[in-house]
Structure formats: structure tokens, C-alpha cells
Structure 1
Amino acid sequence: MKVSVVIATYNGEDFVTQQLESIRSQNREPDEVLICDDRSTDNTQRLVSNFIEKNSLDNWSFMINSENQGYQKNFYNLLKKASGDIIFLSDQDDEWTSDKIEKMAQIMQHDNSIETLNSGIQLIDQNSDKVALPARKNFYNANFLYSKEPLRYLNSFSLDDIIKRNISPGCSMCISKNLRDEFVSTYNFELPHDWFLNMIASVDKKCFFLNENLIRYRMHNNNTLGVSENWGAQSKVNSFENSRQTKIKEFEQLLSSLTIISQRQDIKSAEHLANYLRARLRFYKKQTLGSLLRLRDYKEYYQTATFRGQIWDFLVAFKLKKIIYRLLQM
């Protein structure tokens, strides 16, 4: 089976060469690598061109957008161009283990029911040193993935799971050509492309997670996963407050994506999931006790909200957040 790798770049001069080298050094070499730069203003374009030329990579191609399009359209266009039966997505600043393509492609080849395969990640810092992250209860994969049941080596996820949260960064993902075809005909550029891909695949439980760390996922100033060494009480208040508009946008995107996918596929739980998303939106837009109590009727709320988050929701609903904030400032 033919393997493609697609890489979207933008102002990635600090780490792009390390990522390209980790892909070039794979045990199972990709059949094609497609790279598209989104009008970088640093040295990314020169570094990528020099890397391809220096290593005589005839099956690698490098394109530059005529104008900045954003990462979603950049990945969308790359996926449209990819000709592989299995397509790997790559960011510009991570590092792949040498057996990533080999292991994931082998699983995809042996089970053609899998449409998205997400691998585990190891967090690293700017110096490529491992970053330890305290594990939350029932969370795996650097706290990306929630599961009440202990994970097996290979795990499938339903739409009910994926609608609540994505399970791994898109840079850990490979997809089937069939899923790519469905994606390019339905994607609306709202929800992040990787989450949308997993949503499509999860309708028939064809979304899988491989419980092995095959990518070193870099954390830096533009990518912090919400981890902070200074996570005091005031920081928590600020974080919850600043996230409201972000959450409104996210749940609007999820609802829109669910609507699009359910128009093309028969989803038994579509109405329930849509009502849950609407309940989320009502609470974030109008934070009242009534809207919170309606939201708490859904089991999905308890599976996504931490205990700390639930306490904050009650403070907000009772209009106590300003009082708490003032006390913290004293």
C-alpha cells in the first residue's frame, strides 16, 4: 500500500529540520511527502528546500501558497493532493519515532475497517527533553484521551466519545484514502480538521487509538496544552473566564459538524448529542442556574467537566465569580 505524508509549515524555522529528518529516517520510508508552506516570513522555506535538495529526496515535493490560507485550508489542500492509500498528517515542530510509519501502516493494512489511527504522544520541550505531565483521573495520552475503561493496545472510539473531546493531536494521525475522500467533500473549515476526521470515522466506530507513544509532541510558547507552572487560584479564575468565548465557538463548531455529518450518515444518537451541545451552548451564552441544571441532565457533562470546573460553573450560575475574584486579589 502506498504511504503519503502531508506537512503544513508556517514560520517553523526553529524545529522544522528536526521534524523533516525524523520523517526521512523512518524504518518504512514514505512513498511521497507533500509539504506546503503558508507564506512563512522566516527561513522555513529556505530550510525545507535545502533539506530536500541536500538529501536528494525525489519523492518529496514542496509548494508555497500564493497567499496565507491558515492551517485548516493548508491541510485540506494537502490532503486533496495526496495519492497514498494511507495518509499521515504531520506538523512542523515535532519528532517522530523511527518506527511510527512502519507500525501504524502495518495496523492499517491488516485491518481495513480502520479509517483513522491516532498514536500516543510523548511531550517534549524546546530542547527535545521529555516533559512530565500529572495524569488526571481516567485520562490518558498526556490528558488528551478520556476513558473509564483501561486502555488496550488498540482501542476504538464511537461518535459519543469523539463529540466530547478529541483523543490525540492531528499530528499523531494517519487516515485511509476513503476517509480522505469523504473529508474533502464535507469539511466546512470550522472545527479543526483532525477532530472532524475522527468524527467522520467514529460514526461506525472506525476511529482508533494506538496506545504507544510514536511521536514526540513539542510544547513551546505557541503550544502549551494549558500546562502552567504558575497555576494558583487567581490563574484558575482567569483561565475559566477567558475560556468562555472559546468554548462557545468550539460547541458551535461541533454542532455544525455534527449536522453536516448526520446529513450524510445515519447516526442513531444524533438528536441526543445535538441536544447536549445545545445545552452546553445555552449555559456558556447565558450562565444561569436554570441553564446549568438543564446541562447537568446530560451524562456527557460529568464526563467532560472536572470537579473544579463543576464548582466554577455553580459559582458562575450563582453570580459569585466577581466576589471570588476580588477575594483572591486581597
Structure 2
Amino acid sequence: MKFSVLVANYNNGKFFRTCYDSIIAQTYTNWEVIILDDRSTDNSLEIIKNIIGEDSRFKIFENIENSGVGITKSKLIELADGDICGFVDPDDAITSNALSSSIKVFEKNKDVVLTYTKFVKCDENLQPLQVPKIAQQVINNSPYFFNCPVNIVHFVCFRKEVYNQTEKINTVMKIAEDQDLYLKMYEKGKVKFINETNYLYRLHSGGISQNDNKPKSREYFAKVIFNTMKRRNLASINNKPVPKEYTNSNEIYSLLEYQNSIAFKIKKKLIIFAQQIFS
């Protein structure tokens, strides 16, 4: 299996060296890297090209105009030649076993369409700070799964062939395009949690979903969930009607509040345990 590492860059060339070093250190060797620059306004492209040099495993492309993350990530998948794809932001990094751990799951489990791991939050110098406990195996094959609260996190990898069977990434999205991708892939097969910390997530002021962007991220995620409800033809959630039109994020999140109850969490764990035993 060939693995395509997808890198969407916008003004993050200054961080790319550690991303590059982590990719070329992979124990799995059948990979390519597709980089698409979204019309950076700094010298990112020059920095990235100098780091890559003549390495033919890296392919660099540029958007004609600044297009946003939805369009850029959609194009990246189209440009990929690999069987398996995974996004790595240019300001982040992955562990040396990240690709091999994912590939092993896909080779062993033909019905798995997406894998994910734990991640570690790092400071601006990519020094580890904390491993959030949110990543865990989720229920498979449930029309009421929306990854809210979030359990599917970095490092996410997926089968390109299956992705092409979906409606694909919503190119209008400027934030939460990853959640849109996860939920569409979820509808096509099983997702598998790999209990390893394989992604290094850098915290810095320019992060697209960090700091001042958090309220926007919450709003976009609500729209993703609403679109998912409509795509799955759900008329109600826990006996509450799904609105016919999107009006605000609170209306959507209120439909999912029951998932925070102790009774639901116990039931969820039992279902996940049964699915792991009998799958």
C-alpha cells in the first residue's frame, strides 16, 4: 500500500523543518508527500522548496488564488496517488511509526475505512505539554454518531478509494472540514482507534482552530453535524425533532446533550466492547 501524506500550507513554512524531518524518519517507506500552498503571503514556498531539495517523493503545487482550507484539502486528496491518505499540517509532526501503525490496520481489516490515534499538544517549539484523553474507540455503524464530544482526532488516515464514494469534503468549509471528512467516511465502513500517540500538535498564535478561532470552529462544527443529520435522513434525535433549516449552533448541540449522561456513556461502552469482541 502506498501512503500519501497531505500537507496544506498557508504561511507555515517557518515550521516545516520539523514536519519534514518527521516524515523522512518514517519506518514505513512506501510513501509520497503532496504539498499544496494556498497562496502564502510569506516566503513559505521558498523555505519548503529549499528543505525538500531534489527529493522526488515530495510534490509541490500552488493554488491559483487563496481558496481556504476546504478547497485546498479537497484538491490534495485529488492529487494523491496513494491507497491511504493522511493530513499532516506543516506546523505539526508525526512519530516515526505513524504510517506503519495505520497501514497494518488497513492491511489486516478490509472493512476499516479510517484510523485515528492520540495526539500530544506541544508548545511553539514542539515540546510536549499534554496528551488529551479524548481519543478513544467509538461506536461503529450508528446513525447517531457525530463525533461530538470529539473522540476521533489526529492522526487520521483513510482509504482514498472509499473517500471517492462519499460526497467528499465540503469545499465551502473554512474550519471543521476535518470533521466533515470523518463523518462522511464513518458512513462507509468501520473506524479504528490506534492506541498510540502518533501526532504532535503545535500550539501557536497562527493555528487555524486555536485561540480567537475557537468560536468560529464551534459554529462550523455545528453546521457539519446538521448537514450530517440531513444526509442521514434523521427526523429526530433522542425524540427531539431535527430542525428543517440551520439557524444556530446551540440548537444543534442541544440535540446531543443526552450523550453526556452517565446512562448513555455506560451503554456506549458496552456497545463498543461488544463490537470489539465480535468483530
Q: TM-score over 0.5 for the alignment?
A: yes
Which residue of structure 1 lines up, in the alignment, with residue 170 of structure 2? Answer: 187
Secondary structure of the 2:205 match is coil
Between the aligned partners of 2:185 and 2:170, the Cα distance in structure 1 is 13
Aligned 1:160-309 pairs, distance under 5 A: 160-169=144-153, 171-183=154-166, 185=168, 187=170, 189-190=172-173, 192-203=176-187, 206-223=190-207, 243=215, 247-259=218-230, 261-262=231-232, 270-273=234-237, 275=240, 278=243, 295=254, 300-303=256-259
Secondary structure of the 1:115 match is strand
Q: Deviations over 1:235-255 (max 9, x none)?
A: xxxx9xx94x76455323321
Q: Pick the structure with more helix per residue.
A: 1
Which residue of structure 1 lines up, in the alignment, with residue 90 of structure 2? Answer: 92
Which residue of structure 2 lines up, in the alignment, with residue 114 of structure 1? Answer: 112
TM-fit CA distance, 1:4: 1.2
User: Percent of pairs identical after alignment?
Assistant: 21
Correspondent of 2:121 among 123, 131, 151: 123
TM-score calculated relative to the size of structure 1: 0.67
Between the aligned partners of 2:219 and 2:18, the Cα distance in structure 1 is 36
Q: Deviations over 1:146-203 (max 9, x none)?
A: xxxxx5xx6554442325244344x511100222203455735337332122212323
Distance 1:247 1:90, change over 3 A: closer
Distance 1:284 1:185, change over 3 A: closer
Between the aligned partners of 1:57 and 1:246, the Cα distance in structure 2 is 36
Output the amino acid matched with 2:227.
S
Q: Deviations over 1:261-319 (max 9, x none)?
A: 33xxxx6xx2234956549x778679xxxx99xx5xx5x314359xxxxxxxxxxxxxx
Secondary structure of the 1:93 match is coil
TM-fit CA distance, 1:70: 0.8
Between the aligned partners of 2:118 and 2:85, the Cα distance in structure 1 is 17
Between the aligned partners of 2:28 and 2:161, the Cα distance in structure 1 is 22
Output the amino acid matched with 2:145.
D
Between the aligned partners of 1:209 and 1:108, the Cα distance in structure 2 is 12
Which residue of structure 2 lines up, in the alignment, with residue 142 of structure 1? Answer: 132
Higher-Rg member (1/2): 1
Aligned 1:17-56 pairs, distance under 5 A: 17-53=17-53, 56=54
Correspondent of 1:83 among 67, 81, 84: 81
Output the amino acid matched with 1:125.
D
Secondary structure of the 2:13 match is coil
TM-fit CA distance, 1:124: 0.9
TM-score calculated relative to the size of structure 2: 0.78
* Count of aligned residue pairs for this structure pair: 257
- Greater relative contact order structure (CA < 8 Å, 6+ sep): 2
TM-fit CA distance, 1:222: 3.2
Between the aligned partners of 1:285 and 1:110, the Cα distance in structure 2 is 41
Q: Deviations over 1:70-120 (max 9, x none)?
A: 111101001011121111111111121111001111111111111111111
Unaligned runs of 5+ in 2: 262-279
Unaligned runs of 5+ in 1: 133-140, 146-150, 228-238, 306-330
